A and B are shown apart, each in its own frame.
Chain A
């Protein structure tokens, strides 16, 4: 199996950041879409700044619901969530976009616009902040170069491989230098070789102080990286494993 070909630059040392300086804090959070049926039930967890955490568990365990609560796509039915100092439960509609600009999100299905070029897809994250075009182009080129995609910047997503498309999605998530990176089954559509490549890129983001949360049901990946792993089942945390030495 090949080793990572691309690695994001940035300061290291934040991987083992102490607990208490929480980027994400949840207190007795429950989420219910239907009365009597809980997607999440009484979840309390704290993720430190710069921490790399896996959310594991079978399909329907509540991993995606938890990520949606973190980036404000959903509101908790009960409990409190504090993300980057903002209480999600009390956040007004107009306060959600500024918070999201501090959070990068990567999905299993990439969520790229097929009619826009790679450069335009990545630039979206900067355009919403009103970044001038020249600066946008420079920053997009820089992140695409770091991810080995600079030669693909004028291509459309559908002409790229699955791994390349996911790298574009990661570039879009990281171009704004977010404080939190959320990835929901980011390797679900990729073959094993590409899985490691993408996971290495995501792990690199944590090295520069970004809090990284990866939801996956692939236990092999979790074991390989030896990071903190929070296991969900039936909407509840059933296991919270602390970092161990990564498998070579």
Chain B
């Protein structure tokens, strides 16, 4: 092992010894970081599932162009081709008047007998336009709808734009609240961690003075404190993850059935990679808090 390895082993040992020597203040740091990450993580989890819900609905998000009654045959195929060429359009399916009636008949089930009395088919032919993945948004739908609106033979348009707009506003609200809350809590947490580390520096001022006397460099003295913050932060992240998982398992059963019925899949927890980000985020908070405590004239 090199001298650097020995030094790092010593730093880790000193950091653990530092945490063990002040379990209460270290515990406060861990819990503070944990609570912050639980709140931010809950928003992240909600946001992630809302966005995934939108993705799942994305396949069903389409613009329907109802056609004038005289459009058929060659004109219909020409219109279909022109719509297909509009940017953002993934696929176009032409639905004739007869097909529309058949679909309607199937959807009303036993009530379809009422349709037998009709002399004419009142349903228009239509083009069902599905959007490419990058256009599955309110703006994307609007852009495609505008391009179709002016085409000859198109009588009216229908899309789920209003619904998507409302949903996206809700997603943006959750994201905004989550980010705002996250920033405020992160700053508060940084201050608490910084003060905890400052207390540690103060409690160990004799040791630091002696280290300085025997020729310890500034990084040699500071690194264990930075590691202390990092370890406390990682522990806080792990605590947050455990609490979030417990809450997820506790709250989910109330919604699981309804969501599965509505969307076809249940909400999901963080993936292993995302869970790691929570822990690394906690470690980062702890590290920055320590760095803030040690910046400037930190010596006891």
| In the complex, chain B residues whose CB is within 8 Å of the CB of A188 | none
Given contacts A100-B214, A105-B213, contact A132 B10 (CB under 8 A): no
**How large, as a class, is the contact surface on chain B?**
20 to 34
A residues bordering B, Cβ < 8 Å? Answer: 71, 93-94, 97-103, 105, 111-113, 115, 124-125, 127-133, 172, 176
Nearest A residue (CB) for B14: A127
| Docked CA distance A79–B3 (Å) | 38
On whether the beta carbons of B218 and A130 are closer than 8 Å, the reply is no
Q: Is B6 an interface residue (CB 8 A)?
A: yes
On whether the beta carbons of B1 and A100 are closer than 8 Å, the reply is no
| In the complex, chain A residues whose CB is within 8 Å of the CB of B211 | 124, 128
Within 8 A of A (CB), among B1-32: 1, 3-4, 6-7, 10, 21
Majority-rule SS of B interface residues: helix
Nearest B residue (CB) for A105: B213
Given contacts A113-B206, A113-B210, contact A128 B3 (CB under 8 A): no
On whether the beta carbons of A125 and B7 are closer than 8 Å, the reply is no
The residue that A124 contacts in the complex, of B6, B7, B210, with Cβ under 8 A, is: B210
Chain B min CB distance to A88 (Å): 15
Most buried by A among B3, B6, B7: B6
| In the complex, chain B residues whose CB is within 8 Å of the CB of A131 | 3, 6
| In the complex, chain B residues whose CB is within 8 Å of the CB of A176 | 214-215
Chain A min CB distance to B206 (Å): 7
On whether the beta carbons of B218 and A125 are closer than 8 Å, the reply is no
The residue that B217 contacts in the complex, of A94, A103, A112, with Cβ under 8 A, is: A94
| In the complex, chain A residues whose CB is within 8 Å of the CB of B242 | none
| In the complex, chain A residues whose CB is within 8 Å of the CB of B213 | 71, 100, 105, 111
On whether the beta carbons of A133 and B6 are closer than 8 Å, the reply is yes
B residues bordering A, Cβ < 8 Å? Answer: 1, 3-4, 6-7, 10, 21, 206-207, 209-218, 220
| Docked CA distance A133–B218 (Å) | 21
Contacts A94-B218, A131-B6 known; 15 new A-B pairs at CB < 8 A: A97-B216, A99-B215, A100-B212, A101-B214, A102-B215, A115-B21, A124-B210, A127-B10, A128-B215, A128-B216, A129-B3, A132-B6, A133-B6, A172-B214, A176-B214
The residue that B220 contacts in the complex, of A99, A103, A105, A128, with Cβ under 8 A, is: A128
On whether the beta carbons of A113 and B207 are closer than 8 Å, the reply is yes
| In the complex, chain B residues whose CB is within 8 Å of the CB of A128 | 211, 214-217, 220
Chain A min CB distance to B227 (Å): 15
Chain B min CB distance to A90 (Å): 19
On whether the beta carbons of A132 and B216 are closer than 8 Å, the reply is no
| In the complex, chain A residues whose CB is within 8 Å of the CB of B4 | 130
| Docked CA distance A98–B219 (Å) | 13
Given contacts A111-B210, A128-B220, contact A101 B7 (CB under 8 A): no
On whether the beta carbons of B209 and A101 are closer than 8 Å, the reply is no
| In the complex, chain A residues whose CB is within 8 Å of the CB of B220 | 97, 128
Chain B min CB distance to A171 (Å): 12
Nearest A residue (CB) for B4: A130
The residue that A93 contacts in the complex, of B206, B215, B218, with Cβ under 8 A, is: B218
Nearest B residue (CB) for A93: B218
Nearest B residue (CB) for A130: B3
| Docked CA distance A176–B207 (Å) | 18
Chain A min CB distance to B220 (Å): 6
| Docked CA distance A132–B1 (Å) | 8
| Docked CA distance A176–B214 (Å) | 9
Sample 13 A-B pairs with CB under 8 A, ordered by A number.
Answer: A97-B216, A97-B217, A101-B214, A103-B215, A111-B209, A111-B210, A111-B213, A125-B214, A129-B3, A130-B3, A130-B6, A132-B6, A176-B214
| Docked CA distance A139–B260 (Å) | 69
| In the complex, chain A residues whose CB is within 8 Å of the CB of B10 | 127
| Docked CA distance A125–B218 (Å) | 15
Most buried by A among B3, B21, B210, B220: B210
| Docked CA distance A124–B207 (Å) | 10
| Docked CA distance A147–B33 (Å) | 49
The residue that B215 contacts in the complex, of A100, A111, A132, A133, with Cβ under 8 A, is: A100
Chain A min CB distance to B188 (Å): 32
On whether the beta carbons of B215 and A125 are closer than 8 Å, the reply is yes
Chain B min CB distance to A118 (Å): 14
| Docked CA distance A131–B4 (Å) | 9
Please name the 5 residue pairs, one residue from A and one from B, whose CB atoms are nearest each other, closest first.
A130-B3, A101-B215, A100-B215, A128-B216, A125-B214
Nearest B residue (CB) for A101: B215
| In the complex, chain B residues whose CB is within 8 Å of the CB of A97 | 212, 215-218, 220
Nearest B residue (CB) for A116: B207
| Docked CA distance A98–B215 (Å) | 6
